[in-house]
Structure 1
Amino acid sequence: MNSQDYDRLYLSPPHLGRHELNYLHKAIEDNWVAPVGPNLDGFEQDVCAFTGAQHALALNSGTAAIHLGLRLLGVGPGDEVLCPSFTFVATANPITYLGATPVFIDSEAETWNMCPNRLREALEDRRRQNRQPRALIVVHLYGMPCRLREILALAEEFGVPVLEDAAEALGSTYEGRPLGSFGAVGVFSFNGNKILTTSGGGMLVTNNAAWAAKARAWSAQARDDAPHYQHSELGYNYRLSNLLAGIGRGQMGLLDDRVKKRREIYAWYQDKLQGLPGLSFGPAEPAGGRSNRWLSCLLLSPAETSITPEQLRLHLETHNVESRPLWKPLHLQPLFAGVPVFGGAVCTDLFTRGICLPSGSAMTETHLRRVADAVRELIPV
Structure 2
Amino acid sequence: MAVLFLLLLLSLLIFHLGLGIWVIFKHFLTIDVPSALESPVKMRFLHCMFLYVATLGNVLEKLRICSLFRFIQLIQDKIFTRHQDPKVVVTDLHFGTIPVRLFQPKAMSSSSCRGFIFYHGGGAILGSLDCYHNVCVFLAREMDAVLLSVGYRMLPDYHYPVITRDSLNATIHFLKKLKTYGVDPSRVVVCGDSIGAGVAAQVTQALLGQKDLPKIRAQVLIYPVVQGLNFQLPSTQQNKNVPFLTLDLLMMCICKYMAIDLSWKDSMLKGACIPQETWKKYKKWLSSDNIPKSFKNKYQEPLFPGPFNETAYLEVKHMYSVENCPILADDETIAQLPDLFLVTCGQDILRDDGLLYKKRLEDQQVPVSWYHVDDGFHGCILLFDKKPFSFSCAQNILNAIIRYVKHI
The two structures have a TM-score, normalised by structure 1, of 0.28
Structure scoring higher RCO (CA < 8 A, sep ≥ 6) equals 1
- TM score, norm. by length of structure 2: 0.27
More helix by share: 2
